[in-house]
Amino acid sequence: GSGSGGGGGGDRARRRQAALATAKDRNATLEAVVAAADTLEEDGMHLTPQDCTVLIAALGRRRLSDRALAVLDLMEQRGMPPNLFHFNAAI
């Protein structure tokens, strides 16, 4: 990354990156993907629209449609309206 973060922010960024890597891994277990989703949905966790697409797609691949739809709701709550990419990933 660029720069060195101190304290909890750096730890949160590392946890975010690890969770996204798990979500992108098509061989990750269902339990690992659910744990990654739990991490990414934590209060205060910074998520980009692209992160949400990755998470929704990972949940959808594992037939966790309710959880994928919950991510769409979370996006709305955080002021990040879902777009066509998010809805397609949820299908």
Written as tens digits, the pLDDT of the chain (91 aa) is: 444 445 567 899 999 999 999 999 999 999 999 999 999 998 878 899 999 999 999 999 999 999 999 999 999 999 999 999 999 888 8
pLDDT value of position 34:
96
pLDDT value of position 43:
80
Give the separation between CA 62 and CA 56, rounded to whole angstroms.
10
Centre a 10 Å sphere on the Cβ of residue 90 and count the other Cβ atoms it contains: 17
Q: Is the pTM of this model over 0.95?
A: no
pLDDT value of position 90:
85
Count Cβ atoms within 10 A of the Cβ of residue 8 and give its class: 0-12 exposed, 13-18 middle, 19 or more buried.
exposed
Give the separation between CA 50 and CA 27, rounded to whole angstroms.
20
